[in-house]
Amino acid sequence: MGYVGRPIRRKEDPKLITGRGRYVDDLELPGTLFMAIVRSPVAHGVLKKVDYSDALKVPGVVGVIAGLKVKVDNRPENFPMAVNELLYVGQPVAAVVAKDRYSAMDGAEAVQLDYEELQAVIDPEKALQSKGVVEGKAVAYEREYVSGDPEGAINSSPKKLEMKLRIGRVYASPMETRGVLSVYDGNSLTVYASTQSPHFMRRFLLDAFGGRVNNLRVEQADTGGAFGAKLFPYPEDYITVEASLRFKRPVKWIGTRREDFVSTYLSRDQVHKVRFGFDQRGTLMGLTDELIINLGAASHGYYLGDITATMLPGPYGVKNVRVNVVGVHTNTTPLDQYRGAGRPEATFVIERIMDYIADEIGADPVEVRKRNLVRELPYTNPFGLTYDSGNYQHLLERAGEAYAELERKAQALRTQGRRVGVGLCFYLEQNNFGPWESASVRVRGDGKVSVIMGAAPHGQGTGTGVAQVVADELGIDIDDVEVSWGDTSQIGEAFGTYGSRSLTLAGNAALLAARRLKDKVRALASEIMGTDVEELVYKQGGVENPKDGRRMELRDVAKFTVASMGGTWNFKSDPSLEVTEYFGLNNYTFPYGAHVALVEVEDDGSVKVLDYRAIDDVGVVVNPMLAQGQVMGGIIQGYGEVFTEEIKYDDQGNPLSTDFSSYGLPRAHHSFRVSWEFMEEGKSAAPLPAKGIGEGASIGSLNALVRAVERATKSRITEVPVRAEGLVRV
Amino acid sequence: MKVIEQEQKAKVRYKINGQQYETEVEPRRLLVHVLRELGFTGVHIGCDTSHCGACTIIMDGKSVKSCTILGVEADGSEILTIEGLAQGEKLHPIQEAFWEKHGLQCGYCTPGMIMQSYWLLKNNPNPSEEEIKEGISGNLCRCTGYQNIIDAIKLAAERMKGQ
């Protein structure tokens, strides 16, 4: 029996449950110095002077760095440190390096900043009317997407609606904060990091430091969650490396949680002014959206506006669409991706529209969606994305049954006077952001198989999934397959883990490498056995000749290659039992699914989820236990985004959410049971036809929960988070 | 009362996972840092405000967040960390259950979560689902959504019966 499709327990776990994980703060080399960052205390200002003379007198302080400048795309001039303009609270201004973290902190407290405060702009809509928010600019990005004749289609529609929707700003909140350990030996630089992409990190660090080091290796430490927030270049990455080059000692920086709150890229934060027209039967005819995305004090999050815009039509057939994306600067922590990355925002908007159409024409929300759903695949959406495969109608029918079932439950509860409601969300997700990923499959001399992949998982369990795939392909015991990742010296190039891509891309690379490896094994074995290679077949962990029944195990072939030291190699086949493959797909994959929630809104406005159903079609599910883990975790994150989490600022730009009391991460008592089912109708075009499930639940959960609350309270909800204050029974 | 000057270090003794340790610590140093420097890096730091529970250990029989205690305060105490839970190669039933029920993803909250579960089951060997939620509500997990953790604790409770 194969491993693919079974809930195999994780190979990653033994070290993590015994305290033997090695996260970046657990790593230390002799002589390691600790770095503390001095950050801007104001949201906007002219920086006049950084006086660190007192810091140098603090016992244990080795040195201070100020005024460091590195040119990085889509980052401000004042990067990685403020040099003349303070752009947001939390922006690095100086770094103090000391013998340990306590003295580094002492030193940081002794650094004096001389600055003149400037007017800060915090509200993205006000930013549109402002000048000089960040280095003289207010608008950072503009792009218009148009297809068909949206205005004409809306104007000629029998019914029209306009509304403004808002998606609040959130913090990814991995339980491990960001951290870096940089080690320079006078020649080579090795950087250990809490990251989603060591190879990408190597490339962006080489851009900055390539002229000063001869070799650069990045090693991903065990990484305590990321959710998109540990992917792109951060100021502290450059500052830590600079410190290790300057002081010629290993330098470690580990963000405190308060630092992480103000320095880790935040996400979502979009305003949508939509106008749409539809007919009496609920068919969406035309849609326009003025999309404002609050990029904060850098512009690198602009692409999230593009993803949102191009996915705005979702799984529906509307042809006439215009989205005008405007990315504005504010004096806040820069914006970038968080689990879902643009697709939760797009889905929230289009699903709100479907619900409003249903309400306006008094129709069932499932029926309205059915009417609009794309029926034939592949289908190219108004902005050129080609939806690949699946059966949206079938999944929606299944979701409709769940919806009807929960509606019946809700009816019964309503008769008892309880405020309950059911919400549905159908989602379509764009995955497989590439362009490709790498994997190497190697049979070691002892016959054990080692897989090295370019993907860099950090909790998803991809190592186990890939081991299942390779063990099946080679017909060997999964315990004989070891999967590793995260070290740029182990595999040439790679991208990492983000965008629900790892199993699809690295999984397929590993699968193809294992396939080619079997040919190598056959070729070498045929010479050892003295048979024609065409007569040999690879079967269950070995090669055999069906004619004479002779068989050689994979491990015996491997052992043969290393059996003796010295002598000569007298075979035509080379002795290597290693194959590396780089795998890319020429289209995105588009998983889809539906979430249905039954909630009760208590008199005090708190929301209890009474029943929750999630149905996904992500192609082949390699490990249903891991997939379900992604779904359950994503749903609670969605719950947090809808009810408990939001990054807020006061009018001066002071962050009001800087710890886990002022920022409400869901706790165990918020959790609820999720019942999950999956279909495998929409397979990807890859040899391993999986599509990815890392983000689906954080996309599908928003509207399901919001709609359920809306129905329970007979209100109209146009923004997340939904505040309990607004739901109190009056 | 013993007075220690700021720059001065104090001698402290702990019994950690059954073994005696003696070290010198600055009075302001947090127990979590002291433990980590002694090599118990399974004790994690997830916040700086005692909200997350990643640093949870058992000290003199009670579950504590080791970031809220000074190293000097813990002088003379008996400490159990995640590293001391398994008996040699044999995992503790709670560890087994977390593994089996997929009660962890990134693993960062896991040591604290397991230690808190250990204390919970010591005090309430047969907790209800609500009692489990209440019992671990001081420990944050961002990955799992808690359901598998709750199931793991239930399974461990089941297996620990009669032990």
**pLDDT tens readout for residues B104-143:** 999 999 999 999 999 999 999 999 999 999 999 999 999 9
- pLDDT at site A434: 80
Is A460 in the B-facing interface, judged by CB distances under 8 Å? yes
**CA A360, CA B69: separation in Å to the nearest integer?**
59
Query: Which of A177, A460, A669 minimises the CB distance to B134?
Result: A669
Taking CB atoms and an 8 Å limit, are A175 and B100 in contact across chains?
no
Q: Contact at 8 Å (CB) between A482 and A455?
A: no
Q: What confidence tier does B5 reach under pLDDT thresholds 50, 70, 90? A: low
Q: Are residues B70 and B119 in the same domain?
A: no
List the alpha helices (DSSP H) in A129-194.
150-155
Mean pLDDT within A84-111: 98
Is A26 in the B-facing interface, judged by CB distances under 8 Å? yes
Q: Contact at 8 Å (CB) between A509 and A453?
A: yes
Which residue in B65, B96, B99, B108 has the most chain A C-beta atoms within 10 A of its own C-beta, making it the best mutation to test that interface? Answer: B108
- pLDDT at site B4: 62
Chain A residues 625-664 with CB within 8 Å of chain B: 625-626, 628-629, 632-637, 659-661
If you write DSSP's letter for every residue of B42-100 in order, what string do you get? TS----SSS-S-TTEEEETTEEEETTSSBTTTTTT-EEE-GGGTSBTTBPPHHHHHHHH
**What are the start-end ranges of the E strands in A241-391?**
251-254, 267-278, 284-296, 320-329, 379-380, 386-387
Q: B16: which 2 tokens?
A: 């950690």
CATH of the domain at B24: 3.10.20.30
Residue A122 CA, chain-centre distance (Å), reads: 26
Query: Which of A175, A258, A674 minimises the CB distance to B46?
Result: A175
A350-359: per-residue pLDDT in tens? Answer: 999 999 999 9
Mean pLDDT of chain B: 96
Mean pLDDT within A375-392: 97
Q: A531: which 2 tokens?
A: 């048979």
Q: Contact at 8 Å (CB) between A104 and A96?
A: yes
**CA A544, CA A536: separation in Å to the nearest integer?**
5
CB A370: neighbour CB atoms within 10 A? 17
Chain B residues with CB-CB distance to A668 below 8 A: 132-134, 136-137, 139, 141, 146, 149-150
B23: in domain:
yes
Cα A675 to Cα A634, A701, A711, B29: the distances in Å are: 13, 13, 21, 46
CATH of the domain at B135: 1.10.150.120
Which residues in chain A are classed under CATH 3.90.1170.50? Answer: 13-19+30-118+174-226+230-263
pLDDT at A222 over 90: yes
For residue A378, cis peptide bond before it (omega within 30 degrees of 0): yes
- pLDDT at site A405: 98
pLDDT at B2 over 70: no
Strands B10-16 and B78-80: parallel
Mean pLDDT within A14-33: 97
Chain B residues with CB-CB distance to A12 below 8 A: 107
Taking CB atoms and an 8 Å limit, are A668 and B40 in contact across chains?
no
A401-433: per-residue pLDDT in tens? Answer: 999 999 999 999 999 999 999 999 999 999 988
Q: Are residues B97 and B153 in the same domain?
A: yes
Q: Contact at 8 Å (CB) between A486 and A507?
A: no
A491-516: per-residue pLDDT in tens? Answer: 999 999 999 999 999 999 999 999 99
Domain hosting B72: range is 10-83
Which residue on chain A is closest to B94 by alpha carbon?
Answer: A17
Chain B residues with CB-CB distance to A21 below 8 A: 42, 107-108
If you write DSSP's letter for every residue of A333-346 in order, what string do you get? SPB---TTTTHHHH
Mean pLDDT within A592-611: 97
Q: Are residues B36 and B58 in the same domain?
A: yes
B5: in domain:
no
**CA A538, CA A541: separation in Å to the nearest integer?**
7
3 state DSSP class of A317: coil
Q: Are residues B155 and B137 in the same domain?
A: yes
- pLDDT at site A250: 98
Q: Are residues B45 and B76 in the same domain?
A: yes
**CA A83, CA A76: separation in Å to the nearest integer?**
11
Which residue in A6, A12, A17 has the most chain B C-beta atoms within 10 A of its own C-beta, making it the best mutation to test that interface? Answer: A17
Length of chain B: 163
Is A258 in the B-facing interface, judged by CB distances under 8 Å? yes
- pLDDT at site B8: 85
Residue A263 CA, chain-centre distance (Å), reads: 18
Is A174 in the B-facing interface, judged by CB distances under 8 Å? yes
Mean pLDDT within A375-384: 97
Burial class (CB within 10 angstroms; exposed 0-12, middle 13-18, buried 19+) of A122: buried
pLDDT at A665 over 90: yes
- The correct CATH number of A13-19+30-118+174-226+230-263 out of 3.30.497.10, 1.10.10.10, 3.90.1170.50, 2.50.20.10 is 3.90.1170.50
Q: A133: which 2 tokens?
A: 């928010």
Nearest Cα to B142, choosing from B52, B55, B42? Answer: B52
- pLDDT at site B123: 97
**CA B103, CA A255: separation in Å to the nearest integer?**
26
Nearest Cα to A556, choosing from A418, A677, A431, A443? Answer: A443
- Say which CATH topology domain A267-369+377-432+587-727 has: Aldehyde Oxidoreductase; domain 4 (3.30.365)
- Of B53, B83, B113, which closes a domain? B83
Q: Are residues B70 and B106 in the same domain?
A: no
Which residues in chain A are classed under CATH 3.30.365.10? Answer: 267-369+377-432+587-727, 437-583
Output the pTM of the full model: 0.97
Chain A residues 689-718 with CB within 8 Å of chain B: none
Chain A residues with CB-CB distance to B114 below 8 A: 17
- pLDDT at site A1: 64
Mean pLDDT within A285-314: 98
Q: Are residues B45 and B69 in the same domain?
A: yes
Within 13 A of A699's CA, how many CA atoms are on the CB side?
Answer: 31
Chain A residues 59-88 with CB within 8 Å of chain B: 59
Q: Contact at 8 Å (CB) between B97 and B159?
A: yes
pLDDT at A726 over 80: yes
To 10 degrees, the CA torsion angle through B32, B33, B38, B41?
70
Q: Tell me the CATH architecture of domain A437-583.
A: 2-Layer Sandwich (3.30)
User: Number of structural domains, chain B?
Assistant: 2
CB A255: neighbour CB atoms within 10 A? 22
- pLDDT at site B6: 62
Which residue in A15, A16, A196, A635 has the most chain B C-beta atoms within 10 A of its own C-beta, making it the best mutation to test that interface? Answer: A16
- pLDDT at site A463: 98
pLDDT at A224 over 60: yes
- Of B57, B83, B109, which closes a domain? B83
Q: Are residues B20 and B74 in the same domain?
A: yes
B1: in domain:
no
**What are the start-end ranges of the E strands in A455-591?**
481-485, 537-539, 542-544, 551-553, 578-584
Chain B residues with CB-CB distance to A629 below 8 A: 102, 105, 143-144, 148
Residue A478 CA, chain-centre distance (Å), reads: 28
- Of B50, B83, B116, which closes a domain? B83
pLDDT at A326 over 90: yes
pLDDT at B37 over 70: yes
Which residue in B102, B120, B128, B154 has the most chain A C-beta atoms within 10 A of its own C-beta, making it the best mutation to test that interface? Answer: B102
Q: Residue for token digits 């709609």?
A: A707
